Structure formats: structure tokens, C-alpha cells
């Protein structure tokens, strides 16, 4: 299985054991000395799991390049000493690891930021100062110094972050480089900065050191590089001494989604494929690659020599080992939700993974066999119950998983039916196969009775939620009203004019589903977002086309403020942009009055209006389901409540799966 993916790659002075690079991710553990021990354990599990080469999160080569005031820097001998714990951990398992050098430039969140030109980024708080030519030269030396120190620390190489709109990109593109000296103006001058960095690193770290360059192959911003620019830089980077070219897609300030779950799998492989024929060093494809089948196909078809996967290794440290053992069905697939990784990182919290709560908590959450094997009942096979059942079984307990419906998955089964969220199906597949492997006794179509309290040592109540009913005059009597569960499950026909009551995550999902175009290929997805696959425009962009849905939708909430962003810190803008492009009416500050034959009567800021609608879909949150709650005291301390049954408000799958895991490691 996967002969291309698992084939070693000869780099001349060294070999990679397969074609998979674990891409750089900022976990939040980089920024403190204590965090490095935990980071070492995190990387060690991935190296043990067989990945070819790991790239760390970004470390700045100097003070001004840090992402935020307390962010990680790698520029002194003490840093090299402190990082040995990481390199030794990875090398214990014959893995390889490269340190990523990232200078944030104008994306830095502090007043000391510097860039090619003093223009503030649209997503930044601070305007950078312009680097003098002396400062440019010093920064190049800082990269070289950091690379030499990385070698001393035992790193096998460095990755130079030259994409996503950070400092190097800010020099390369005319969008951000308005200089008139030797570092600006024509393209030859603008690409001097990355080339001098690479040459300086090669000089300081020697020939037997991997230099990966993350090249922005598709900027997705105005005044970004042309394809010719990208190809020329790739060729010059090869001459300057780069060992491997990695792909970067989209600046952080680009308003086009590049990694969230609604981005089709492998959506940007075509970009790497355009650059690869022009260089003879290995080239890596990236973005939304999350299965071994897809990775194998990319390499087999010659679009790239390697693939980069970052979040899939948060989700499953044993991704490669399982692929090697012919067990891809046991891989815990990253579903691109961003909910526990990037959302956490952007909130300044430690990253983890929704589907793998152990990620970045390896030292705190070892999975140890239970001293005594107990009889455990888990009631409810939604995300929380599945997680509890699996980890209890892994610890050696005998687990009965009782589910009243005829299948597992709970709320994930609804989520996977939302266009752009099909990946949620993978988590259900993962749990189904793991439950079988760990011999969980799955009892479907069975309603738990109070009897479970007597029969089991421990009972985990993961009975989930039911949709909240709302009180609006005329709603209860109307035949035009649907709750979201029924609508999603039964794909009820709701007409062409629909009001959605409630604009939380579910309301957004429903509005997206109702306005989804019927045919939706990769080309259509790119067209919807204005991505120029022929690469005739700078940055790979052309203006957004208007997309008009046949269904007219009003997404409503009582709260004032932005409507349609939902809960995700890094994904909210994608939801809102999607709904806006499809012409969904986003109304906040709504006061519901009544529903009658004329429609839904409401007022916004004192202005009354009647929405002439065919139907109303209620997405007003949930309430907990807790069967025979009054009897739980009979088993004081042995009944555990998790997921939506524990707390329906702000329910999210990250909490649900984590609670299932946490109770399982305590029992
Ligand atoms: P939610 O986020 O609590 O949103 C419920 C919505 O209903 C709110 O917009 C609320 O706004 C409205 N509402 C509440 N009570 C109401 C009432 N009595 N009458 C009328 N409107 C009422 O719930 P949800 O959308 O069902 O989502 C549930 C959980 O799943 C959330 O925690 C969410 O994070 C998670 N989820 C996440 C995603 C994702 O993409 N990350 C997707 C789906 C769900 P007003 O009170 O202002 O009207
Ligand atoms: Fe993937 Fe979601 Fe886990 Fe992040 S939190 S690694 S996106 S599954």
C-alpha cells in the first residue's frame, strides 16, 4: 500500500524515510522553557509514528521578528541548549526535524515590528517601521546565526518561512515592498532578500544541512506574485542552496479560505504542479491533504515529490505507522475544523485537537491501563460517548455503549450532512473501527433504563441534547415550522423563502445548506472564491463573481452585532463571506412578534417588517437530555455526566470529546 508515499527520499547527504513532512504548527508550547519538554514529547510521538521529517512551529531569528511580545525566539546559544531535548527525542526514533525560522514582519503584534515598507497590514494592530538597508543586512545575518545554532542544537535543518504574508513575502511582493533601494523596485531586487538569506544560511550551516524554503506559490492578494515570478524565484532558490521547496498558499490577510474544512481536499495541488517542472530539487504539496490515499495519488501523479500535512498529525501521531501497516481505516482523520488547534492558537491558548484531546498534552495525559477492569456503561454514542467508550476500553475496562438510535455519531451525523462539512463522517468511521478493535460492546436500538445504575460499576451519561423550542406567537400551530434536526435528517422541502431563527453555528450551517449550489466541483468552488486557476492575474486572483441562490434566506438573531460569523475564531469570516456572497439576509437585533399567513412579523430597531416566507427553521440552541436523573444519586460518584447532557449551552464537540476522554482516564 502507498508505495510512492512510503518510498524514502534521497537528498544526497542524507535520506528521508518517506515522503511526508509534518508541517509547521504553532502549538503555544514554543514560547516557554517549560513548554519545550512538552513539545519534545509531542514531537517524539510523531517521530515514533514514522513521519519522514517534522518542521517545528515558527521561531524568530531576532527580537523584532517575534509574532507577539512573549513569542518564541531562537537566536542565542542558550536557545540551542534548551532545544536539545526536542532533537534528541525525535532522533531516538530515527526521525528528522527542522526548525522553522519565521520573521513576522508587519504581522507582529507589538510596537517593534519592522518590514520592507512602513504600511500596516489590514489584519495588524501595529504599523511597522521601515528597515534600513543596514537592518536588512543584519536580519539576513540573524537568519544565518539562528541556522548555525539550530545545527548545534541537533536540528537536521531549517525551514525558512517565505510565505503566508510574513516578512520575506513582504519583501517579495510589490503589494508591500515600495522601496527604492537595492531591496525594492524591480522583481530582481525584491527577491534578493530571500536569496541572500538562503545563501547566508548555507554558508553558516554547511552543506550537510537541510534547507527547506516555504515559497508562496499563490499569494491570493492583490499585487501578489505572478506565476513567472514564483517560478523564477524557485529556480534562484535552488541555485542559492535550498534542499527542498515547500508550498505556501495565501497570505494571512487574504480573504479566501485555504485550509478550513469547506476547502475541498487537495484544492491547491495544481499550484505546486505548475512550479515543480522548473526545478530539480524536491517540491512539497500542501493544504487540505489528510488521507494517505490522497497523498499517495499526488505523488504518484507527479504533482509533487512529497506532501506536507500539519493538522493531520495533531489528530493522529500514528498516521504513517497505520498507513504502513495497511490500517488506514484506523487513522483519526483531521477534519479541518480548526476548533482546537488554530482557534486556540489565535486565542493565545495551547493548541490541541478536537478529535484527539491528547495532542500537545502527551505528558499530562498518558493512557495507562486501569488497575482494576470495571464494567462501564456509556449511554449515548455521540462524540462525547464515543470518546468515553473508546478510551475506557483502551484502559482495559469492559464497556457497553448503549445507543437508542440505530447508528453512532449523534450531532456529528447531522454535521456531516452540511455541505462543506462532509469530513465529519471520517470521525464517525474512526470511532466505529476503533470500537471494534478495542472490543466495545455496541448496543444499538436500545434505550437505557434505570437498571444500568445497578448493573455497572460506572455509568457515563452522554445522552446529548434536543433542540430548544422557542415561544413566538403562531409558531406552535404553524405547519411551516421545522426544527433543524428534522430538516437536516429528512432533507425536508422548505420552499424558496426561508427564515432561520437563531444564527449560532447550527443556524449558519442551515443557511449554508439551503443556499448551496446543486453541483459543486473543485472548479466551481474556486470560481466562487475568485481563484484564478489559469494564473493569469497577479496573486492568482480575479474579482469575486456574484453567486445567487434560488432560495432566499433570512438568518436572524436577537442579539445586536455581527451576524453569521459563528463561534470559530479562524473560520467565522469564511462562513460570513459565504453567506454574504450567496445573498443571505443577515439580521441582528431582531424582535420576533408573530407568525401568521402573511409571514413572520418582526421588528429591527423599532422598524416593523413582515417576511413573506414559505417556512421557518428553528436553530435556537439546545437543551440537555438526562434520562432518569432523579435516580442517579443511588450511585453517588459512579454516574458521570459529559457532553451536551452535562451542559447544553455553548456545547461544542471539542468539549464533548475532551470530557469523554478525561472521564475515561480517571475511571
Ligand atoms: P447557539 O450557538 O447557542 O446559537 C443559538 C442561536 O439561537 C443564537 O443565535 C441565539 O441568538 C438564538 N436563540 C437562543 N434562544 C432563543 C430563543 N429562545 N428564541 C429565539 N432565538 C434564540 O446554538 P447552536 O447554533 O445550536 O450551536 C450549538 C453548539 O454547536 C454551539 O456551541 C456551537 O459552537 C456548536 N457548533 C459549532 C459549529 C462550528 O462550525 N464551529 C457549527 C455548528 C454548531 P439570540 O439569542 O441572539 O437570538
Ligand atoms: Fe484537525 Fe480540527 Fe484537530 Fe485542528 S482541531 S487538527 S482542524 S481535527
Q: What is the pLDDT of residues 310-357, one digit of tens each?
A: 999 999 999 999 999 999 999 999 999 999 999 999 888 999 999 999
Decide: 345 in ligand 2 pocket, CB within 6 A: no
pLDDT tens-place string over residues 351-388:
999 999 999 999 999 999 999 999 999 999 999 999 99
Using CA atoms, how far apart are residues 470 and 623, in angstroms rounded to an integer? 12
Indicate the average pLDDT of the chain: 95
- Ligand 1 center–CA 382 separation, angstroms: 19
pLDDT tens-place string over residues 612-622:
999 999 999 99
CATH superfamily ID and name for 469-620? FAD/NAD(P)-binding domain (3.50.50.60)
**Would the CA dihedral through 24, 28, 33, 34 be positive or negative?**
negative
Q: Is pLDDT at 477 greater than 80 in this prediction?
A: yes
SS3 at position 74:
coil
- Best mutation site among 412, 488, 505, 602 for ligand 1 pocket (most ligand atoms within 8 Å of CB): 505
- Residue 572: burial class (beta carbons within 10 Å; 0-12, 13-18, 19+): middle
As a whole number, mean pLDDT of residues 477-483 equals 94
User: In this predicted structure, what is the pLDDT of residue 34?
Assistant: 85
- Ligand 2 center–CA 652 separation, angstroms: 13
Q: CB of 440 within 8 A of CB of 394?
A: no
Select the more confidently predicted residue: 516 or 253: 253
Decide: 621 in ligand 1 pocket, CB within 6 A: yes
What backbone torsions phi and psi does residue 153 show, to the nearest 5 degrees?
Answer: -75, -10
pLDDT band with cut points at 50, 70 and 90 for residue 485: very high
Ligand 1 atom at minimum distance from 567 CA? 34
Q: Is pLDDT at 411 greater than 70 in this prediction?
A: yes
User: In this predicted structure, what is the pLDDT of residue 601?
Assistant: 97
pLDDT tens-place string over residues 38-59:
999 999 999 999 999 999 999 9
Q: Which residues contact 274 (CB under 8 A, 6 or more apart)?
A: 217, 227, 231, 535
- Ligand 1 center–CA 628 separation, angstroms: 27
Using CA atoms, how far apart are residues 640 and 594, in angstroms rounded to an integer? 41
Residue with cell 541572500: 196
Grid coordinates of 211: 534547507
Decide: 350 in ligand 1 pocket, CB within 6 A: no
Q: Is pLDDT at 651 greater than 70 in this prediction?
A: no
Q: Is pLDDT at 97 greater than 80 in this prediction?
A: yes
Residue with cell 475515561: 664
pLDDT tens-place string over residues 217-250:
999 999 999 999 999 999 999 999 999 999 999 9
Burial readout 258-270 (b: 16 or more C-beta within 10 A, e: otherwise): bbbbbbbbbbbbb
Report the run of H or E that residue 167 belongs to, with start and end. helix 167-172
SS3 at position 604:
strand
Alpha carbon distances (Å) from 119 to 123, 175, 468, 478, 639: 12, 10, 48, 56, 58
Ligand 1 atom at minimum distance from 556 CA? 48
Residue 520 bears catalytic tag: no
Nearest to 555 by CA among 485, 499, 512, 601: 499
Using CA atoms, how far apart are residues 605 and 621, in angstroms rounded to an integer? 24
Select the more confidently predicted residue: 325 or 569: 325
∠ CA 52-53-59, rounded to 5°: 165
Decide: 355 in ligand 2 pocket, CB within 6 A: yes
Catalytic member of 2, 43, 155, 166: 166
As a whole number, mean pLDDT of residues 525-531 equals 89
Using CA atoms, how far apart are residues 333 and 323, in angstroms rounded to an integer? 12
Using CA atoms, how far apart are residues 644 and 217, in angstroms rounded to an integer? 43
Decide: 359 in ligand 2 pocket, CB within 6 A: no
Nearest to 315 by CA among 297, 343, 336: 336
CA 154 to chain centre: 29
User: In this predicted structure, what is the pLDDT of residue 527?
Assistant: 85
What backbone torsions phi and psi does residue 261 show, to the nearest 5 degrees?
Answer: -60, -30
Decide: 336 in ligand 2 pocket, CB within 6 A: yes
The pTM for the full model equals 0.94
| Domain spans, the chain | 9-347, 375-466+624-666, 469-620
- Ligand 2 center–CA 339 separation, angstroms: 6
Grid coordinates of 81: 541548549
Strands (E), 312-467: 375-379, 398-402, 441-443, 458-461, 465-467
pLDDT tens-place string over residues 131-177:
999 999 999 999 999 999 999 999 999 999 999 999 999 999 999 99
Give the architecture-level CATH label for domain 9-347: Alpha-Beta Barrel (3.20)
Residue with cell 467508550: 389
- Ligand 1 center–CA 642 separation, angstroms: 19
Q: Is pLDDT at 79 greater than 70 in this prediction?
A: yes
User: In this predicted structure, what is the pLDDT of residue 545?
Assistant: 66
Q: What is the CA radius of gyration of the chain?
A: 26
Strands (E), 486-638: 497-501, 552-556, 585-587, 590-596, 599-604, 607-611, 615-618, 622-624
- Residue 229: burial class (beta carbons within 10 Å; 0-12, 13-18, 19+): buried
Nearest CA to ligand 2 atom 6: 311
**Domain 375-466+624-666 coded CATH 3.40.50.720:** yes
Q: CB of 631 within 8 A of CB of 450?
A: yes
Q: Is pLDDT at 10 greater than 90 in this prediction?
A: yes
8-state DSSP, 122: T
How far from each other are the two terminal CA atoms of the chain, in whole angstroms? 38
Q: Is pLDDT at 37 greater than 90 in this prediction?
A: yes
Amino acid at each position: 500500500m502507498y508505495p510512492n508515499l512510503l518510498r524514502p527520499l534521497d537528498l544526497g547527504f542524507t535520506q528521508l524515510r518517506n515522503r511526508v513532512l509534518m508541517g509547521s504548527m504553532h502549538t503555544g508550547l514554543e514560547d516557554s522553557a517549560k513548554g519545550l519538554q512538552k513539545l519534545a514529547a509531542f514531537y517524539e510521538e510523531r517521530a515514533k509514528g514514522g513521519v519522514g521529517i517534522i518542521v517545528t512551529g515558527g521561531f524568530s531569528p531576532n527580537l523584532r521578528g517575534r509574532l507577539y511580545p512573549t513569542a518564541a525566539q531562537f537566536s542565542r546559544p542558550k536557545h540551542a541548549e534548551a532545544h536539545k531535548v526536542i532533537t534528541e527525542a525525535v532522533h531516538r526514533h530515527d526521525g528528522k526535524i527542522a526548525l522553522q525560522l519565521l520573521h513576522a514582519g508587519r504581522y507582529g503584534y507589538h510596537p517593534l515590528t519592522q518590514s520592507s515598507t512602513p504600511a500596516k497590514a489590514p489584519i495588524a494592530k501595529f504599523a511597522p517601521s521601515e528597515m534600513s538597508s543596514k537592518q536588512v543586512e543584519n536580519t539576513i545575518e540573524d537568519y544565518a546565526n539562528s541556522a548555525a545554532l539550530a545545527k548545534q542544537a541537533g536540528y537536521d535543518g531549517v525551514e525558512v518561512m517565505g510565505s503566508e504574508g510574513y516578512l520575506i513575502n513582504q519583501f517579495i511582493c510589490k503589494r508591500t515592498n515600495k522601496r527604492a533601494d537595492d531591496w525594492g523596485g524591480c522583481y530582481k531586487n525584491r527577491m534578493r532578500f530571500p536569496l541572500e538569506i538562503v545563501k547566508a544560511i548555507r554558508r553558516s550551516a554547511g552543506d550537510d544541512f537541510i534547507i527547506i524554503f516555504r515559497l508562496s506559490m499563490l499569494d491570493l492578494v492583490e499585487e501578489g506574485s505572478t506565476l513567472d515570478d514564483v517560478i523564477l524565484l524557485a529556480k534562484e532558490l535552488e541555485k542559492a542552496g535550498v534542499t527542498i521547496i515547500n508550498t505556501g498558499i495565501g497570505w494571512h490577510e487574504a480573504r479566501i479560505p485555504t485550509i478550513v474544512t469547506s476547502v475541498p481536499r487537495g484544492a491547491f495541488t495544481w499550484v505546486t504542479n505548475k512550479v515543480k517542472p522548473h526545478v530539480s530539487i524536491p517540491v512539497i504539496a500542501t493544504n487540505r491533504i489528510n488521507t494517505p490515499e490522497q497523498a499517495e495519488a499526488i505523488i504518484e501523479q507527479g504533482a509533487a515529490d512529497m506532501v506536507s500535512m500539519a493538522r493531520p498529525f495533531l489528530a493522529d501521531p500514528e498516521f504513517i505507522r497505520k498507513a504502513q501497516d495497511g490500517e488506514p481505516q484506523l487513522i483519526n482523520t483531521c477534519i479541518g475544523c480548526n476548533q482546537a488547534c488554530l482557534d486556540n492558537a489565535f486565542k493565545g491558548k495551547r493548541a490541541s485537537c478536537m478529535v484527539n484531546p491528547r495532542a500537545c498534552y502527551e505528558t499530562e495525559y498518558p493512557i495507562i491501563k486501569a488497575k482494576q477492569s470495571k464494567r462501564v456503561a456509556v449511554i449515548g454514542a455521540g462524540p462525547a460517548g464515543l470518546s468515553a467508550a473508546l478510551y475506557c476500553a483502551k484502559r482495559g475496562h469492559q464497556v457497553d455503549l448503549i445507543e437508542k438510535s440505530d447508528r453512532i455519531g449523534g450531532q456529528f451525523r447531522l454535521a456531516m450532512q452540511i455541505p462543506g462539512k462532509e469530513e465529519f463522517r471520517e470521525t464517525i468511521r474512526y470511532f466505529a473501527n476503533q470500537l471494534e478493535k478495542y472490543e466495545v460492546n455496541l448496543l444499538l436500538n436500545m434505550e437505557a433504563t434505570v437498571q444500568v445504575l445497578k448493573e455497572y460499576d460506572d455509568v457515563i451519561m452522554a445522552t446529548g441534547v434536543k433542540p430548544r423550542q422557542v415561544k413566538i406567537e403562531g409558531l406552535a400551530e404553524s405547519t411551516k415550522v421545522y426544527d433543524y434536526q428534522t430538516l437536516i435528517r429528512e432533507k425536508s422541502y422548505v420552499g424558496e423563502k426561508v427564515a432561520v431563527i437563531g444564527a449560532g453555528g447550527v443556524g449558519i450551517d442551515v443557511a449554508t445548506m439551503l443556499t448551496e449550489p446543486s453541483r459543486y466541483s473543485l472548479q466551481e468552488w474556486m470560481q466562487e472564491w475568485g481563484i484564478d486557476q489559469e494564473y493569469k492575474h497577479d496573486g492568482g486572483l480575479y474579482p469575486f463573481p456574484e453567486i445567487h441562490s434560488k432560495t432566499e434566506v433570512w438568518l436572524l438573531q436577537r442579539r445586536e452585532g455581527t451576524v453569521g460569523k459563528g463561534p470559530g475564531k479562524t473560520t467565522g469570516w469564511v462562513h460570513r463571506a459565504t453567506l454574504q456572497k450567496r445573498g443571505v439576509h443577515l439580521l441582528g437585533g431582531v424582535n420576533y412578534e408573530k407568525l401568521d399567513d402573511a409571514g413572520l412579523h418582526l421588528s429591527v430597531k423599532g422598524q416593523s417588517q413582515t417576511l413573506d416566507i414559505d417556512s421557518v427553521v428553528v436553530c435556537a440552541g439546545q437543551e440537555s437530555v438526562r434520562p432518569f436523573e432523579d435516580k442517579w444519586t443511588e450511585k453517588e460518584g459512579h454516574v458521570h455526566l459529559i457532553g451536551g447532557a452535562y451542559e447544553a449551552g455553548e456545547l461544542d464537540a471539542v468539549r464533548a470529546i475532551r470530557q469523554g476522554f478525561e472521564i475515561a482516564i480517571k475511571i
